[in-house]
Amino acid sequence: MYDHYAGALYGVVLRIVQSKEYTEEIIQDVFVKIWNAIHQYDSSKGKFYTWMINIARNTAIDYLKSKGFQNELKNQPLPDFVYNSAELSTDNNSSDFIGFNNVLKGLEVDKQELIDLAYYQGYTQNEISEKLKIPLGTVKTKMRNALMKLKDLLKDYQ
């Protein structure tokens, strides 16, 4: 399972955390959580891959918001804190094994931005509302519409 899914999950976590060191640590946690919660997976609610992606995303977001991580960031000297964005960039296709970036291009630009903020950058809907200066209800509606459109676009990949 690790050999099959680690690369894709790594790409998702890396886009949120933006640190190879932290991503490797989080990926270990993700697979432990998957192993311990495998009995909770329900195939009638969605695909196994989607379930794992959600675990990875939530674990990465939880890690970023943890007090330990926040304190560690505050205590790092500046050179260790600033990342080389070219080296860590996930815009290349090496972390996009299923071609998801091409699928996202099928959405309107505003919906692409919502998906990027929520799933790749780890923003909550409240944070998206504040960042984009649009009402929370609008964010929720657009996000729901974007996810429904994505579901429709992904039918071709089953």
Kindly give the parts of the chain with pLDDT less than 50: 78-97
Kindly list the distances between the CA atom of residue 28 and the CA atoms of 21, 25, 56, 62, 71, in Å, as whole numbers in the listed order. Answer: 11, 5, 10, 14, 21
Residue-wise pLDDT for 61-99, tens only, equals 888 887 665 666 555 554 444 444 444 444 444 444 456
Q: Is-contact 14 95, C-beta < 8 A? A: yes
Query: How far is CA 96 from its chain centroid?
Result: 12
Task: Determine the Cα angle at 26 with ends 121 and 127, to 5°.
Answer: 25
Q: What is the pLDDT of residue 41?
A: 92
- Confidence (pTM): 0.53
Residues 6 or more apart in contact with residue 157 via CB below 8 angstroms? 98, 99, 103
Q: What is the pLDDT of residue 94?
A: 47
The amino acid that residue 75 corresponds to is N
